[in-house]
Amino acid sequence: MTKLRLVLVLAFVSLPLVAARVVDLRALTPHAYDARALPEQVGSHRLLREQPLDAEVVSMLEPESYTMRLYEDDRDSAVWVYFAIYSGTDTTGAHDPAVCYPAQGWDASAPEERGIDLPGGERMAVRAMGATLGRKEERVLYWFQPAARWPVFTPREQVQRILDGFAGHSQYGFVRLSTQVSAPTEEERRLADAKLAEVAIALAPSVRQAVTGVAVSAPR
C-alpha cells in the first residue's frame, strides 16, 4: 500500500512536467494571436481610446499580444480593459492583480472567486477585488481565459489547465477590468461590481475567440 501511494504521488507531481513537454511538441504549428480583436462596443460602453504600455512593462510581461483600452458609456462611466494573450509554451505569464496592485502601493483586498452567468446557460469563474490608494478606490474583476472552454473554480481549474496542455490548448488570455468608485460606500461598490460584470459578459465571447488563435503558415 505504501508503494502504491508513493507511485500515485510521483505520478501526480510529474503531470505538470509531462504536460509541459507535450505543450512544447504541439507548439510546432504557429498561431497568430491578436488581443486587439475586441469590439468597439462592449455592452453599453464604447471604446474611447487605446493606451500602449511602457516598453519595459511589455518586456517584463512578455505577452504574445495585448491591448489596454478605455471604454465609456453615455453617463461617462469608465472601464479600463487590459487583455493579454499567452501561448503557454514558456515560463512567463500574466501578473495577478492581487500581487501587482500592492506592488504599486495600493492597499488591496483578498480576491474573491465569483461565478458569472453567460448567455446560453453557461457560466465562468472570475475573481473580484477592491484596491485603494489614498482617496482613490478601484474595483477590479479579472480572469484567465482558456482557449477551448470557460474558466472554472479552483482547484479544478488548475487540474483542467494541465489537461488543456495535453489536448493542445495551452494558450490562455488574461483579462482585467477596472473602474473607479465614485464614493467609498457599499452601494457604490456594488454598482461598480455590477458594471464590471456587465462588461465581462459582453466581452467574454470576443476574448475567447481571440485566445483560440488563427493558424498561419509556417515560415520557410
Range 181-209 average pLDDT: 95
- Residue extents of the structural domains in the chain: 2-215
What pLDDT was estimated at residue 28?
A: 46
Range 26-47 average pLDDT: 83
pLDDT band for position 92 (50/70/90)? low
CA-derived radius of gyration, the chain: 19
Burial 94-126 (b: 16+ CB within 10 A, else e): bbebbeebeeeebebeebeeeebeeeeeeebbb
List the one residue out of 20, 63, 23, 62 whose CA is nearest residue 169: 23
| Ranges 32-46, 108-122, 201-215: which has the least confidence | 201-215
Evaluate if residue 205 carries a pLDDT over 80.
yes
What pLDDT was estimated at residue 26?
A: 45
207 vs 210: CA distance, rounded Å: 5
Evaluate if residue 209 carries a pLDDT over 60.
yes
What pLDDT was estimated at residue 9?
A: 40
pTM of the model: 0.82
What is the distance of C-alpha 39 from the center of its chain? 17
Evaluate if residue 136 carries a pLDDT over 70.
yes
pLDDT band for position 157 (50/70/90)? very high
What pLDDT was estimated at residue 32?
A: 79
What pLDDT was estimated at residue 24?
A: 46
Q: Which residue has the higher pLDDT, 169 or 45?
A: 45
205 vs 83: CA distance, rounded Å: 13
In sequence order, the 6+-apart residues with CB closer than 8 A to the CB of 140 are 97, 101, 128, 129, 130, 131, 176, 177, 178, 196
142 vs 155: CA distance, rounded Å: 17
What is the distance of C-alpha 147 from the center of its chain? 11
pLDDT band for position 213 (50/70/90)? confident
| Ranges 84-88, 94-98, 202-206, 208-212: which has the least confidence | 94-98
What pLDDT was estimated at residue 29?
A: 52
Residue 36 sits at the vertex; the CA angle it makes with 164 and 71, to the nearest 5 degrees, is: 115
